[in-house]
Amino acid sequence: MAQIIDGKRISAEIRAEIKEQTEAFKAKRGYAPGLAVIIVGEDPASQVYVRNKKRACDEVGFYSESYELPAETTQDELLSLIDRLNADENIHGIICQLPLPRHLDETAVLLKIKPEKDVDAFHPYNVGKIMIGDYNFLPCTPAGVMALIKRSGIEVAGKNCVVIGRSNIVGKPMAMLLLHANGTVTICHSKTRDIKKICAEADILVAGVGRANFVTADMVKEGAVIIDVGINRLDSGKLCGDVDFCEVEPKASYITPVPGGVGPMTITMLMQNTLTAAKIHGK
């Protein structure tokens, strides 16, 4: 039976550490780290994320601002808001919740956020820094995965690591972080041949494909570490990951559940990035 990697517990530990560091930061600098969150439109999932981010800021002692803009907000209006937040000395991190309404240019929005305030690490400048291994911020979900792996005592160096999914938000940066940790990395995607065979050779398998129960027992090596990044809602309303947990868990050495695995880590790592941004500010 696999050891369950408890994302809730590890997330709580890291948030307690961030809160302690924030108190020391405020005592030294005289102000709190500040995060601004922008949401355009009324996507229910995005609204939940924004509320959770506000709650996390309160928990660790950050200053926060939320901007809930109507769906018909224009490109110029959104970019003007970002310009104002870029210039605001009280704001050290800016995130714009994706996806945006179709009439808005996501690329232009991400480019407008100053790299030093880009706590989602989506700006090409920060993506390039991650590529060469000289970064200030990491994308929050891959960073959360690495924290789970490290705090569970799992060694990456020399391991055969397989990432399913090649998105800019999870798959690509996840592969790069595993590579930086000296893993041997393969990325699988919709055009990959013999995907079951490749996955079955992985010592560490990270699933971020966005398909419920995609990873089955025949795709998993005995004793593998299984990290499930997926969050999918079944017709029954139940949440599940990209990994068929009941099938795979008996074969794995470690596995993350859904919910309660990677999910809690994402906002926690956003808090870590915001604290880092505040520490950089004014140096």
* CA 206 to chain CA mean position, Å: 13
According to the model, what pLDDT value does residue 237 have?
Answer: 84
Q: Say if 42 falls within a structural domain.
A: yes
Same domain assignment for residues 109 and 147:
no
* Residues contacting 180, CB < 8 A, separation 6+: 133
Q: Say if 96 falls within a structural domain.
A: yes
Among candidate residues 171, 177, 172, 224, the one with its CA nearest the CA of residue 202: 224
Q: Say if 18 falls within a structural domain.
A: no
Same domain assignment for residues 153 and 242:
yes
CATH at 170: 3.40.50.720
Q: How far apart are CA 214 and CA 234, in angstroms?
A: 13
According to the model, what pLDDT value does residue 44 have?
Answer: 77
Among candidate residues 224, 190, 219, 208, the one with its CA nearest the CA of residue 261: 208
Q: Using one digit for the tens of pLDDT, what is the confidence trace for 209-256?
A: 999 999 999 999 999 999 999 999 888 888 899 999 999 999 999 999
User: Hey, which residues are catalytic here?
Assistant: 53, 97, 120
Same domain assignment for residues 180 and 237:
yes
Q: Say if 278 falls within a structural domain.
A: no
* Residues contacting 230, CB < 8 A, separation 6+: 207, 208, 209, 210, 211, 212, 214, 240, 241, 242, 243, 258
Same domain assignment for residues 149 and 259:
yes
Strand arrangement of the beta sheet that strand 184-188 belongs to: 3-4, 254-255, 225-228, 204-207, 160-164, 184-188
Q: Say if 89 falls within a structural domain.
A: yes
Q: Say if 19 falls within a structural domain.
A: no
Tokens of 269: 């790592």
Same domain assignment for residues 250 and 144:
yes
Same domain assignment for residues 162 and 106:
no
**What residue numbers bound the domain in which 102 lies?**
30-114
Print burial letters for 211-223: b (CB count within 10 Å at least 16), e (below 16): ebbbbeeebbbee
According to the model, what pLDDT value does residue 117 have?
Answer: 98
Residues in the chain predicted with pLDDT less than 50, given as ranges, are none
Q: Say if 45 falls within a structural domain.
A: yes
Same domain assignment for residues 175 and 104:
no
Same domain assignment for residues 109 and 145:
no
Structural contact between residues 101 and 71, judged by C-beta atoms closer than 8 angstroms: yes
Q: Say if 63 falls within a structural domain.
A: yes
Same domain assignment for residues 35 and 107:
yes
Structural contact between residues 138 and 121, judged by C-beta atoms closer than 8 angstroms: yes
**Domains in the chain, number:** 2
Same domain assignment for residues 166 and 256:
yes
What is the pTM (predicted TM-score) of this model?
0.95
According to the model, what pLDDT value does residue 283 have?
Answer: 61
According to the model, what pLDDT value does residue 167 have?
Answer: 95
User: Which of 99, 114, 129 marks a domain boundary?
Assistant: 114
Residue carrying structure tokens 């956003």: 270
* Residues contacting 236, CB < 8 A, separation 6+: none
Number of residues written out for the chain: 283
Same domain assignment for residues 97 and 162:
no
CATH at 58: 3.40.50.10860
Alpha helices (H) along the chain: 7-29, 44-60, 75-87, 106-112, 124-132, 140-151, 171-180, 195-199, 245-248, 263-280
Same domain assignment for residues 96 and 146:
no
